[in-house]
Amino acid sequence: MAPQVTVDSINPKVIECQYAVRGEIVILAQKLQQEIQAKPEAYPFQEILYCNIGNPQSLGQKSITFFREVLALCDHPAILAKSETQALFSADSIERARKILDQIPGRATGAYSHSQGIKGLRDTIAAAIEARDGFPADPNDIFMTDGASPAVHMMMQLLIRSEKDGILCPIPQYPLYSASIALHGGSLVPYYLDEATGWVLEVSELKKQLQEAKSNGITVRALVVINPGNPTGQVLAEENQKAIVEFCKEEGLVLLADEVYQENVYVPEKKFHSFKKVARSMGYGEKDIHLVSFQSVSKGYYGECGKRGGYMEVTGFGADVREHIYKLASVNLCSNITGQILASLVMSPPKVGDKSYESYIAERDGILSSLARRAKTLEDAFNKLEGITCNKAEGAMYLFPRINLPKKAIKAAEEVKTAPDLFYCRRLLNETGIVFVPGSGFGQVPGTWHFRCTILPREEKIPAIVTRLTDFHKRFMDEFRD
């Protein structure tokens, strides 16, 4: 018999799942890059400028020295006792590595850990959450994961029973959520962020969409909030967060708080507040609200995407439900130990008085202040372009400008059976080498068009991006202006 697995006989949920961040435009970019390598004069640009994905170190951002010192020492503890090590590594990285190794049963960094992660590292993380929020955190509530994505999948797997179960998600959203909901066979219940007011999350919109979902027979189980926002870059105000908590409490929803950009806030008038802190400050405890907070080593100023470290803090579930979450964690045994160690480090970096403190602060602030400048430069550049408006990136790593495409451009896109935003991004890539992700991958109000642009290219490349984009956009508008 011929092999039986064809695209018509695989799981339709897999077919349905979309993941634009690594979709068509990125595949085209990789193709162009190979062509340029083979034949540098193939295109009117010499390099691909990746603005498509939140992957800072791929664009030259340096890792934080202290973190990498500790990781190296934990990978090869045999050198800890050697005198040469003193010359190669900072004194506090050696001390920290020793402390971490002491927290690992048998100092075995090559062993499976507890399914939730090494207890000592979870103690460190819980203490850091407590220091951040001013409210207690329990190491037994921490589930360490390979980046935040597996944690999100785990919660979706737990909550979604059928397509009748809905998850309230922002539109625009990070497509991990739509992909995960599709894979687990649930329904994404959209709520729209208000672009006109800087992507504000209106609780009235949540209520409206919840009612509409209910009237369609959907049981809404959870609300996803991404704060700071991806792809929208807004930072929620504390009062707004309180209203969101109140809404979840009233409706008995699980609040899934994507807080992976908690270190990425660029404007002085906004501050990151964890949803747990907000809920606790309102007097709501374990029995009042289901609350899950996701954190990752991939974002912040550290940007250690490749290390796949992260955790979720799970509160407000009964012991019996918790057992099932534990079981889901244990089916994959544990997350990678390097990522676990790094997660403890980003939550507990060098402190005042530590040998590495000054250099650590210089590295951290250098990255964050540069990100803030890049965000502002790109925002300003977008807002100068005909037909483009762009909200400020208060936080996170992205801008999500809106483009009012001329009717002629929309028609040209339709003629080649392409979404208009994809049409624009494809042209941009082919003519300039700049990689944006079309807004359709994130969701947008029907009839509006956007794209996502990261603020991550190296600062010295930003002027070239602005120039190339501006020139392209003018040509594009000259060709298609109504």
Tell me the number of residues near a second copy by CB under 8 A: 102
Residues 165-194 that bind a second copy (CB under 8 A): 176, 179-180, 183-184
Q: Measured between alpha carbons, how far is 477 from 482 in angstroms, rounded to an integer?
A: 9
Out of 163, 246, 251, 354, point to the residue binding a second copy (CB under 8 A). Answer: 251
At 42, list the tokens. Answer: 């193939």
- Judged by CB under 8 A, the stretch of 9-17, 120-128, 189-197, 273-281 that binds a second copy is 9-17
Crossing angle of helices 420-432/462-480, nearest 10°? 120
DSSP-assigned letters across all residues of 51-99? -SS--GGGGTPPPPHHHHHHHHHHH-GGGGG-HHHHHHS-HHHHHHHHH
At 330, list the tokens. Answer: 């244990």
CB nearer to a second copy: pick between 147 and 438: 147
- CB of 88 vs a second copy, minimal distance in Å: 5
Residues 287-306 that bind a second copy (CB under 8 A): 287-290, 298, 303-306
For the chain, give me the number of helices (H) and strands (E)?
A: 17, 14
CB nearer to a second copy: pick between 84 and 239: 84
CB nearer to a second copy: pick between 63 and 389: 63
Q: Taken in order 222, 139, 242, 196, is the CA torsion positive or negative?
A: negative
- CB of 429 vs a second copy, minimal distance in Å: 18
- CB of 202 vs a second copy, minimal distance in Å: 21
Is 423 in contact with 409 (CB distance < 8 Å)? yes
- CB of 17 vs a second copy, minimal distance in Å: 7
- CB of 386 vs a second copy, minimal distance in Å: 34
- CB of 280 vs a second copy, minimal distance in Å: 15
Residues constituting the chain: 482
Out of 34, 46, 131, 161, point to the residue binding a second copy (CB under 8 A). Answer: 161
- Judged by CB under 8 A, the stretch of 70-78, 237-245, 408-416, 427-435 that binds a second copy is 70-78
- CB of 15 vs a second copy, minimal distance in Å: 7
- CB of 16 vs a second copy, minimal distance in Å: 10
Q: Measured between alpha carbons, how far is 192 from 199 in angstroms, rounded to an integer?
A: 9
Residues 311-370 that bind a second copy (CB under 8 A): 316-318, 320-321, 324, 327-328, 330-339
- CB of 71 vs a second copy, minimal distance in Å: 4
Residues 432-461 that bind a second copy (CB under 8 A): none
- Judged by CB under 8 A, the stretch of 83-91, 131-139, 233-241, 444-452 that binds a second copy is 83-91
Q: Which residue has the tokens 């037909």?
A: 387
Amino acid at 157: Q
Is 166 in contact with 329 (CB distance < 8 Å)? no
DSSP-assigned letters across all residues of 344-372? HHHHS---TTSTTHHHHHHHHHHHHHHHH
CB nearer to a second copy: pick between 325 and 410: 325
Out of 137, 201, 236, 254, point to the residue binding a second copy (CB under 8 A). Answer: 254
CB nearer to a second copy: pick between 178 and 432: 178
Out of 44, 252, 285, 366, point to the residue binding a second copy (CB under 8 A). Answer: 252
Amino acid at 192: Y
CB nearer to a second copy: pick between 254 and 399: 254
Beta bridge partners of 219: 165
| Using rule CB under 8 A, residue 46 touches a second copy | no
* Secondary structure (3-state) at 297: coil
- CB of 334 vs a second copy, minimal distance in Å: 7
Q: What are phi and psi of 437, to 5 degrees?
A: -105, 130
CB nearer to a second copy: pick between 289 and 397: 289
* Contact residues for 455 (Cβ-Cβ < 8 A; gap 6+): 371, 374, 375, 378, 393, 397, 398, 399
Is 183 in contact with 19 (CB distance < 8 Å)? no
Residues 99-158 that bind a second copy (CB under 8 A): 105-106, 108-113, 115, 146-147, 149-150, 153, 157-158
Out of 25, 48, 49, 71, point to the residue binding a second copy (CB under 8 A). Answer: 71
DSSP-assigned letters across all residues of 369-419? HHHHHHHHHHHHHHHTSTTEE-----BTTEE--EE---HHHHHHHHHTT--
Out of 38, 78, 196, 416, point to the residue binding a second copy (CB under 8 A). Answer: 78
Closest to 421 (Cα-Cα) out of 444, 455, 392, 390: 444
CB nearer to a second copy: pick between 81 and 196: 81
Quick note: the x/- pattern for a second copy over 208-247, rule CB under 8 A, is -------------x--------------------------
Q: Measured between alpha carbons, how far is 54 from 282 in angstroms, rounded to an integer?
A: 33
